[in-house]
A and B are shown apart, each in its own frame.
Chain A
Amino acid sequence: MLTYLSKRLLMMLPLLLGITLISFMVIHLAPGEPTDLQTAMNPKASAQLQQRLRTEYGLDKPILVQYGEWVSRLARFDFGNSFSQDRRPVIDKIRERLPITILINVLSIALILVVSIPIGILSATKRNSLFDRLTTIFVFIGFAAPSFWLALLLMDYLGVHLGLLPVAGIKSLGFEYLGWGGKVMDILRHLMLPVFISAFGGLAGFSRYVRSNMLEVVRQDYILTARAKGLSERSVIYKHALRNALLPVITILGLSVPGLIGGSVIFETIFAIPGMGKLFYDGVMMRDYPLIMGILVIGAILTLIGNLLADISYALADPRIRNS
């Protein structure tokens, strides 16, 4: 197991290097440079400024040299400074946006699991029943409805008309004067709509997945055996079938690890949430190379770790894989 682990970890290094090289090349292929955007169309800016900025950022060097410098900085865990006017360290910019993004994503995945697993099981066991049909319609509405539209409707109704929930943002104006409990309540109230909206869209995929897995499993011989033994239907479904049906869920969870730091631009823009999606989008629009690369590297590392974790936990959960 240990040799397997270390082998896997070692394999990650060249993979990571490859990913970063390709990403670096691709973002530099996009037309326009950060210096263009900071000086272009400004009647007060001179052409010399453009040149000075290019030198300052090292953009006048060959691209492979730039990549080499970037990698050597990265090896020292230095993500460099942002190319935007504030020139702040990239890691600071990511750090201040990461907690809220992870919080929303974790809550939303949890909500998706809690709602869609029961829906999936029930739809499978009561296949083609009214419940099955209604939930199918419900989850597909969630899947198909544009999230920004739904968000605005709910904000208008719950936030403006009923005044029940805050419209947007992540905390109220007097937040720092609230007590401990008040702070938690305030954040929860602000997160309710965003978490609901982001989970609503994900219900369909996951519940359908559980449903079809479940249908697959109940057709297996060992379920027949369980029934033949005279076990109760409850026991057959929840003990024997469910466990097997949920195995692939591990893979999905593993794959969603990198998604934890990713955010959706539209979603964050609508709810005025300062998350990773907006940071990345603005970075791309401004051609802020160090920032884009910083986020991509963290995403790549998390993807690789997520895959590894999925493989390992799969082995732990499934004796067939562990022994092969």
Chain B
Amino acid sequence: MRRFFLILAGLLVLSGCQHQDTSTAPAGKAVPAYGDTLIEGTIGDASTLLPVLATDSASFDVSGLIYNGLVRYNKDLKLVGDLAKSWQISPDKLTITFHLRKGVKWQDGAPFTSADVLFTYRVYVDPKTPTAYAEDYKQVVKAEAPDPYTFRVTYAKPYAPALDSWASISILPRHLLEGKDITKSPLARHPIGTGPYRFVKWLPGQEIVLRANPGYFRGEPYIHRVVYRIIPDSSTMFLELESGELDYMGLTPLQYTRQTDTLAFRRRFNKYRYLSFGYTYLGYNLRRPMFQDRRVRQAISYAISKKEIIDGVLLGMGEVATGPYKPDTWVYDPNVKRYPYDPAKARKLLAEAGWRDTNGDGILEKDGKPFSFTIVTNQGNDQRVQTGEIIQRRLREVGIDVHLRVIEWATFLKDFIQPGNFDATILGWSGGPEPDQYTIWSSTQTGPHQLNFIDFRNAEVDKLLEEGRRTFDRKKRKKIYDRFQEILAEDQPYTFLYVPDALPAVAKRVHGIKPAPVGIQYNFIKWYVPKNEQKYSR
């Protein structure tokens, strides 16, 4: 249901999903019933409800209930059919054939066929479509719809992330969009999809209302109406939750640990906790001479206590990151080299690299130059700033002088990250179940506007990433990505800091929520409120 997409979260990360539930789990026997309204709080307004054009998580949250992909991730992060009933991959791994569900209808009553899928594919790769998601689909050399319920794509080279791309695509209605300029389509404000909810209204900056689609092909959702209320301030949102005007929001660590342990709150809400898809890191600009020595990067990793950062910044609501993957996914390698807090080892490594305090001022020097650098991060994310402050203090203890600069997002990108004009940066990536990391770590991706902005170059990693993209077999893929994680752990081009927890709270009257590795949203259409607990009649 939730579309997975890799995008750097500029502000608060409220997305992502995964396991490890320590909630006050709902118990007791309740009978599923249709009806009621679920009101969800969202920090930002959606920008467009045509997902092909959207880049913000609010838009994806809403349109995720309106549209479908061909396949989807189930609760255990396995791909299963969505609009496609099944699919086959040819023995040479070049062709994928999707067999579509029959009898699916668009929310305006028109039948859904393979022509819609072919049309959607063409929209995504059309140079006139300003979409951020064309790359995956450009790998397709031939797309065809041999009959109304078959869709076939052929790739020039085997492309393992392909299936993930057919999960994150949102199939669009051809009969409403064909021959029109997609950027001017009324569907951006009034979407029509195949999904479990249909659009009702959108008051910009206030609320978006959806109503259950009785003809949904996976069954009518129990909850009749979903309202997204746009509340830009997290404290206000929490007050709205307490006053009963919201049923569902993502809590901050402070709210989760300090403000919701009251009886009154527990009587009315269930809290959930699971690892989110995403991590925060300290990345080094490898063009800078001081960071070119691996021992220096390893020393800094030893000098930083990740545990302390998690306790201080996330109030314990997170886990130590050891690499780019979420600790409870199949691709995660738990056996990579770790960097526990060890300032003595850090000092030793720095001394080996030639950094010594020759003038006794407490700051290390090499060739007469003091070890001093600046960490830049973006404004609007307090967690990153606090992380920076803790790092600053710990590095000072091993003799490194660190400055911290917090810069407004647009300026930060334009003047610092894109031109490679920074020493080190605290940022985060959020991702999905697909392990391909080509765009972030390949040495071909170091140009301006590209994502390997730290200039990481490693021939073996390049080869592994290329191989990983060509390999479908999960066991073989695991081996490839295990080695990739080993190299990153040894090399420390980033100091991987933490994976934060997602901390949603949902009104207690909502039953049927079953936390799973993918989070809680996956079975949203099965959430229900028993008849006697229903609050809203419309």
Q: Which A residues have a C-beta under 8 Å from some C-beta of B?
A: 30-33, 36-50, 52-53, 56, 84-88, 93, 96-97, 152, 155-156, 159-160, 163, 166-171, 173-174, 177, 268-272, 274, 278-279, 285-287
Interface mask (B221-259 → A, CB under 8 Å = 1, otherwise 0): 000000101111101100110110100000000000000
Interface magnitude class on chain B = 35 or more
Which residue in chain A gives the minimum CB-CB distance to B10?
A: A41
Task: Answer whether A168 and B410 are a contact pair too, CB < 8 Å, given A38-B132, A47-B450, A173-B227.
Answer: no
* B449/A168 in contact, CB under 8 A: no
| Inter-chain contacts of A160 with B (CB < 8 A) | 239, 242-243
* B8/A42 in contact, CB under 8 A: yes
* A37/B410 in contact, CB under 8 A: yes
A177 to B536, CA, bound (A): 13
A209 to B495, CA, bound (A): 57
* A36/B130 in contact, CB under 8 A: no
Selected from A85, A159, A169, the residue in CB contact (under 8 A) with B53 is: A85
A271 to B239, CA, bound (A): 11
* A43/B240 in contact, CB under 8 A: no
* A167/B245 in contact, CB under 8 A: yes
* B54/A272 in contact, CB under 8 A: no
Q: In the complex, which residues 374-426 of chain B have their Cβ closer than 8 Å to any Cβ of chain A? A: 408-411, 413-415, 417-418
Ordered by A's residue number, 28 sampled pairs between the chains whose C-beta atoms are within 8 Å are A30-B411, A31-B414, A32-B411, A33-B410, A37-B410, A39-B132, A40-B8, A40-B418, A41-B413, A41-B451, A42-B6, A42-B8, A44-B132, A47-B447, A47-B450, A53-B130, A56-B130, A85-B47, A85-B56, A167-B243, A168-B240, A169-B229, A269-B233, A270-B235, A270-B236, A272-B230, A279-B205, A285-B409
* B449/A50 in contact, CB under 8 A: yes
Task: Answer whether A31 and B55 are a contact pair too, CB < 8 Å, given A168-B239, A272-B229.
Answer: no
B184 contacts A by Cβ under 8 Å: yes
* A156/B239 in contact, CB under 8 A: yes
Which residue in chain A gives the minimum CB-CB distance to B411?
A: A31
| Inter-chain contacts of A177 with B (CB < 8 A) | 538
* A167/B132 in contact, CB under 8 A: no
* A36/B236 in contact, CB under 8 A: no
| Inter-chain contacts of A173 with B (CB < 8 A) | 37, 39, 227, 245, 536
| Inter-chain contacts of B536 with A (CB < 8 A) | 173
* B239/A41 in contact, CB under 8 A: no
* B204/A93 in contact, CB under 8 A: yes
A261 to B147, CA, bound (A): 57
A154 to B313, CA, bound (A): 28
* A86/B47 in contact, CB under 8 A: yes
B5 contacts A by Cβ under 8 Å: yes
Which residue in chain B gives the minimum CB-CB distance to A84?
A: B47
A197 to B455, CA, bound (A): 50
Task: Answer whether A31 and B240 are a contact pair too, CB < 8 Å, given A41-B7, A56-B130, A278-B205.
Answer: no
